Chains A and B, each alone.
Chain A
Amino acid sequence: MSENRYELNKNLAQMLKGGVIMDVTTPEQARIAEAAGACAVMALERIPADIRAAGGVSRMSDPKMIKGIQDAVSIPVMAKCRIGHFAEAQILEAIEIDYIDESEVLSPADDKHHIDKTKFKVPFVCGAKDLGEALRRINEGAAMIRTKGEPGTGDVVQAVRHMRLIQSEINRIGSAAGDELFDIAKELRVPYDLVQYVHEYKKLPVVNFAAGGVATPADAALMMQLGAEGVFVGSGIFKSGNPEKRAAAIVKAVTNFTDAKLLAELSEDLGEAMVGINEKEIELLMAQRGE
């Protein structure tokens, strides 16, 4: 992958900022998401809550289903491949997907290696729990980062934990002395130049979104105030009572994330939120997949 292509791929993520990326399983849902103001959709056969319920092995979606969603909307379409499954990624690239999510939501295909994303022309987004993970993914070629959170739970606690940890590690590196950066690079298992970048600019070199467990306009506003540059909403929308209304409310909450009065209006009468599973009640922690 040329330097130029990587820049263009990071640039696309910049255009998504301040927006909401929604999980959809059918062309119909994709149209609802676009009409509600999604800046991109994630095409997948089953949303994380159902993947969690179904158990077993979960894989890349049927390309035909993804193409149906590409035809249904004009906004960017993303799709997930398994961690380390570069053949699935090659297939997604062949159908000209706009972004590949190398995702812990699916069953990992490789328990040691992530995909060498520098080999691809299409961009990748990857999940991270902490700064080390984020920078390792960026070193492998990820053009966008999101918190892992705990997908399919409707419980935002892990997304908050991951975002706070990433921010506090950025702050630590930002205020570290120059000669401490070498040891920090060793500790995080990442190249020195990425640590140097974080030290100089006090941010990640790519866009950073929140994901995992966001279910309400208030959740979205919380993540934005904690420093997210945009939000992924997975199960939270189409597992709720009134998807159209909830989706539109979350979009507006992300734009005006500090206006509590508006957030109060947006939070009214949204119908039933997704039921949600407490993080203590689940056996499978997807966030542990792929360090």
Chain B
Amino acid sequence: MLALQGAFIEHEEMLSKLGVESFEIRQKNDLLRSFDGLIIPGGESTVQGKLLKELGLLEPIRQLILEGLPTFGTCAGLLLLSKRIENDARSYLATMDITAVRNAYGRQLGSFYTEASLGTIDKIPMTFIRAPYIKEVSDSVEILATVDGKIIAARQGNQLVTAFHPELNDDFTVHRYFIDICGGE
């Protein structure tokens, strides 16, 4: 669990309810422990991105993802994994071949809740908080969910992203899906 800033405890609680152990990554030394998957939580992408760089975590984590580490980014995590952010010159891990739009729904008054299907799974709850969406994907990216014609969940090999926050509702679908990518229980 990347625990630099944001809603990481919520993800930890979801994993723990599913019987999966997790630990927090706040510094380089934490990467020495062995782990099967990485979650990059929601929060502010500018804050997490800056801390990734300054704490010397950016390059090591980028390498791990390129080497195949299963990685799941929600909201800010999606932005950190995006190769391009349309309305922001900054990019961070830039390992996933997607173009994202930051704060795509506007300010807090634009935050919303909805239910939509994800892949072959019928409706699941989705909470969007000052959320991004994905504008473009390359051919190797699988689109998992759309809301109002916008892509809000996608997968490229070992990388999974959602613009919404599955950790804020009591539905384990997306976390189960990620645990499968990590090689199951």
Contacts and interface: CB of A to CB of B under 8 A. Distances in A.
Contacts of A19: 5-6, 43-44, 47
B46 A37 contact: yes
B6 A8 contact: no
A85 to B, nearest CB: 20
Given A15-B6, A18-B3, A39-B5, A96 B109 contact: yes
Interface in B119-143: 127, 129-130
B103 A74 contact: yes
A267 interface: no
A231 to B, nearest CB: 11
A252 B109 contact: no
B150 interface: no
Describe B's contact surface by its main secondary structure.
loop
Interface string A64-97: 0000001000111000000000000000000011
A99 interface: yes
Given A19-B6, A76-B130, A12 B168 contact: no
A251 to B, nearest CB: 7
Given A11-B127, A18-B5, A18-B6, A39 B44 contact: yes
Query: Nearest 7 A-B pairs (CB), nearest first?
Result: A18-B5, A98-B108, A39-B44, A14-B7, A8-B111, A37-B50, A96-B107
Nearest to A73: B46
Nearest to A262: B27
A252 B54 contact: yes
Interface of B: 3-10, 26-27, 42-44, 46-47, 50-51, 54-55, 75-76, 88, 102-103, 106-109, 111-113, 127, 129-130, 165, 168
A18 B106 CA distance: 23
Nearest to B42: A15
A206 to B, nearest CB: 13
A245 interface: no
A7 interface: yes
Interface residues of A, number: 37
Contact of A8 (B50, B54, B88, B127): B127
A12 B111 contact: yes
Contacts of A123: 108
A256 B27 contact: yes
Contacts of B51: 37, 251-252, 255
B111 A11 contact: yes
B43 A17 contact: yes
A153 interface: no
Nearest to A254: B5
24 contacts: A7-B127, A9-B108, A11-B129, A14-B42, A14-B168, A15-B75, A17-B7, A18-B5, A18-B8, A19-B5, A39-B5, A75-B44, A75-B47, A76-B107, A96-B107, A121-B109, A122-B109, A248-B54, A251-B47, A252-B51, A254-B5, A255-B3, A255-B55, A256-B26
